[in-house]
A = this chain, B = another copy of it.
Amino acid sequence: MKEIYCGVDIGGTKINVGLVTKDGEVLIDEKFETKSELGEEYSINNIKNSIDKLLKEKDFEVQDLKGIGIGSPGPLDSKKGIIIDACNLKPWKNVKIVDELKQKYKDIPIKLQNDANVATLGEYLYGCGKECDNFVYITVSTGVGGGAVVDHKLQIGSNSNAFEVGHTIINLNGRTCNCGNNGCLEAYASGTAIAKIANERAKDEETLMSKDGDIIAKDVFDYAKKNDKLALDIVKNEGFYLGVGLFNVIALYNPDIIAIGGGVSNALDMFYDEIQKTLDKMSLDASKKACKIIKAKRKDCGLIGAAALSFYL
């Protein structure tokens, strides 16, 4: 008997659907645009059609499908299987996505979980979290998010909102974050923050980067490679701020491994030393010694983690 699992990774711009084995091998997958503005029915139909198409292309029957897992931006109610009102999926409101899929795939376990938790699960089970007791995944891209595995179990929290690490406060009188708070990790270490800080500083400081307010995070890393002084300093600060955020995570979770993923992690080599230097200056030696900070391995952790949801949680 065949055993395959379906992962559905819902993002603000794209949905990724794939068929995955229990070992985390993606047999087939496809991406299509979310277009949440066309309403949830449109997207849910696309998901159903995609599942059917992928099954057919790989010569599977619906009976071979042992579970469907969905990762979605939150807030959501994972127990009831409802996406409440994710700001990246406007104008969806209280979308009962699990019930909708249940209508078609009646006897198959279907689970919903927030996207960062799902990606954490994927990296934990199939990436660099394997064989860890305590594992943390942090994604640094537009925002800063992630998830934690505490004693072999994915941390969910009382209403699926655990590990909002991007909004932990590291500098209480500091920069204002998109969330309205001051001094969030995300206001310093996200890709958005890197761009914002670069545009602010470029106005007054010597740099080869644009002075027109249109610098993006990638530019900062590119110019740092060309030894632009300002770009280099911003990249160094990225290591420092992320280092402080990681220190707090180490202090609380005492993990074996923290894996860094997300777009900004592509440049991790450029600020890894500064993360370590920042941590070296700080206390809690026993916890720091126990923890390795490494680059996440699985770019597809959102998809494979979603597939794993159905048998793992």
CA of A248 to CA of B18 in the docked complex: distance in angstroms? 35
Nearest chain B CB to A145 CB, angstrom units: 11
Question: In the complex, which residues of chain B have a beta carbon less than 8 angstroms from the beta carbon of A180?
Answer: 282-283
Q: Name the contact of A159 in the complex, choosing from B167, B179, B249, B254 (C-beta under 8 A).
A: B254
A3 at the interface (CB under 8 A from B): no
CA of A33 to CA of B290 in the docked complex: distance in angstroms? 34
Q: Given A181-B282, A251-B167, check contact A158 B134 (CB 8 Å).
A: yes
Pairwise interchain contact B168-A171, C-beta atoms closer than 8 A: no
CA of A167 to CA of B288 in the docked complex: distance in angstroms? 13
Please give me the residue from chain B that is nearest to A134 by CB atom.
Answer: B158
Pairwise interchain contact B284-A179, C-beta atoms closer than 8 A: yes
A161 at the interface (CB under 8 A from B): yes
A235 at the interface (CB under 8 A from B): no
Q: Given A151-B155, A284-B161, check contact A168 B134 (CB 8 Å).
A: no
Pairwise interchain contact B169-A244, C-beta atoms closer than 8 A: yes
Chain copies in complex? 2
Q: Name the contact of A291 in the complex, choosing from B158, B247, B255 (C-beta under 8 A).
A: B158
CA of A172 to CA of B248 in the docked complex: distance in angstroms? 11
CA of A81 to CA of B5 in the docked complex: distance in angstroms? 43
Q: Name the contact of A287 in the complex, choosing from B155, B164, B183 (C-beta under 8 A).
A: B164
Pairwise interchain contact B75-A286, C-beta atoms closer than 8 A: yes
Question: In the complex, which residues of chain B have a beta carbon less than 8 angstroms from the beta carbon of A249?
Answer: 252
A173 at the interface (CB under 8 A from B): yes
A153 at the interface (CB under 8 A from B): yes
Please give me the residue from chain B that is nearest to A154 by CB atom.
Answer: B151
CA of A244 to CA of B180 in the docked complex: distance in angstroms? 14
A150 at the interface (CB under 8 A from B): yes
Pairwise interchain contact A163-B252, C-beta atoms closer than 8 A: yes
Interface residues of A in 141-185 (CB under 8 A from B): 148, 150-151, 153, 155-165, 167-174, 177, 179-181, 183
Q: Name the contact of A290 in the complex, choosing from B158, B174, B284 (C-beta under 8 A).
A: B158
A256 at the interface (CB under 8 A from B): yes
Pairwise interchain contact A170-B167, C-beta atoms closer than 8 A: no
Interface string of A186-229 (1 = CB under 8 A from B): 00000000000000000000000000000000000000000000
Nearest chain B CB to A210 CB, angstrom units: 29
A92 at the interface (CB under 8 A from B): no
Please give me the residue from chain B that is nearest to A148 by CB atom.
Answer: B252
Please give me the residue from chain B that is nearest to A180 by CB atom.
Answer: B283
Pairwise interchain contact B251-A168, C-beta atoms closer than 8 A: yes
A60 at the interface (CB under 8 A from B): no
Q: Which 7 A-B pairs have the closest CB atoms?
A: A157-B254, A179-B283, A162-B254, A164-B251, A161-B254, A168-B248, A161-B287
